Amino acid sequence: MISNAWFTVNYFHVSFGKQDLIQQAIEAINEIEKIPIDEKRQLVFQKLSSTTNKETVSQLWHFNKNVPHWFLSPWFQKMDRNEIYNASKSFSEKCLYALYDESIAINPEWKNYLTDNSRVLKDFCYWNLALFLQAKNPNVPDIPNKLIKPAQRSGLLKQRTQFWDLVVQELGSVKCIYTGEKLTVGNYAVEHFIPYNFVSHDLIWNLIPADKSFNSSKSDKLPPLEKYFNSFFALQKTAIEIIKIKKPDSKLLEDYLTIFPDLNMNFTEEKFRERIQPLITIASNNGFEFLK
């Protein structure tokens, strides 16, 4: 349970609710074990399964002690923990599994059903988890894509070569809005203004060229708008004007339609800030830190 939720809580800062014990356990274990926040689920599981740290074991024991028999409670209503453990060993009431101190044993009668319907059952679990988390995080975007760590992030080659390279070539160079360094084609990183960890997308309206070294150090920090927004907007506005002329049929221009129904009429500094400010505020409220 902890390894499955590790990435969602630590990387995307999605909340399970302040009273939720999974959230509390992950935060506590993260402080103790110092496991990378974007570690693969299997490695998190291995590290937690083999830990000898008493504090971590104590955090994990709560779930081991309570969850396995709670799940069987529909089969054994009005029974306590010990009674459920004992009754399950004979697969009484055709329960899903038998409970032992260190393991469970799947009821053979359920084997074919679980195997044949594994995809449907998995999607059912993710659907209900998404509904649960969306209720706890009503303003956080793209909750379904924050449930598991993707096998790999999509690259930003298209955004670089089909958009920002054209802009930089047309201007000769641009200044990094963070460092003031001169950026030229082949000598910049494509950077998420609002961290990817929060928005969970690569839409062009949130991407800008940036100093490579600064991009690495910025990580998932939020940019203070009072310091960086004006430069961010100016670069975006210039980019739109250039792409409209050099590549008016660019599909990347459609990315802006997710926040502006009409680029010709609505793309003003005031309107753009109205779209960006709430996202920054929500991300900050969810635990993302600001650049210092």
**What pLDDT is stored for residue 241 in this prediction?**
94
**What pLDDT is stored for residue 70 in this prediction?**
95
Residue range 25-52: mean pLDDT, rounded = 93
Residue range 67-85: mean pLDDT, rounded = 95
Decide if 87 contacts 79 (C-beta within 8 A): yes
Higher pLDDT, 151 or 165: 165
Flag whether pLDDT at 152 surpasses 80. Answer: no
Residue range 249-260: mean pLDDT, rounded = 92
**What pLDDT is stored for residue 35 in this prediction?**
94
What does DSSP say about strands 189-192 and 207-210: parallel, antiparallel, or unpaired?
antiparallel
Average pLDDT, the chain: 93
Flag whether pLDDT at 283 surpasses 80. Answer: yes
Stretch among 120-129, 149-158, 240-249, 274-283 having the lowest mean pLDDT: 149-158
Cα separation, 253 vs 165, in Å, equals 15
Flag whether pLDDT at 254 surpasses 80. Answer: yes
Q: What are phi and psi of 98, to 5 degrees?
A: -100, 145
DSSP state of 174: E
Flag whether pLDDT at 151 surpasses 90. Answer: no
**What pLDDT is stored for residue 155 in this prediction?**
83
Percent of the chain surpassing pLDDT 90 = 86
Decide if 56 contacts 49 (C-beta within 8 A): no
Residue range 70-88: mean pLDDT, rounded = 96
**What pLDDT is stored for residue 270 in this prediction?**
93
DSSP state of 153: P
Flag whether pLDDT at 185 surpasses 90. Answer: yes
Flag whether pLDDT at 180 surpasses 80. Answer: yes
**What pLDDT is stored for residue 229 in this prediction?**
97
- Which pTM value belongs to this model? 0.81
Residue range 255-271: mean pLDDT, rounded = 86
Flag whether pLDDT at 274 surpasses 80. Answer: yes
Per-position DSSP letters for 195-244, written without gaps between them: -HHHH----GGGEEEE-HHHHHHHTTPBPPHHHHHHHHHHHHHHHHHHHH
Q: What are phi and psi of 38, to 5 degrees?
A: -110, 25
**What pLDDT is stored for residue 292 in this prediction?**
86
Q: Is 57 helix (H, G, I), strand (E, B) or coil?
A: helix
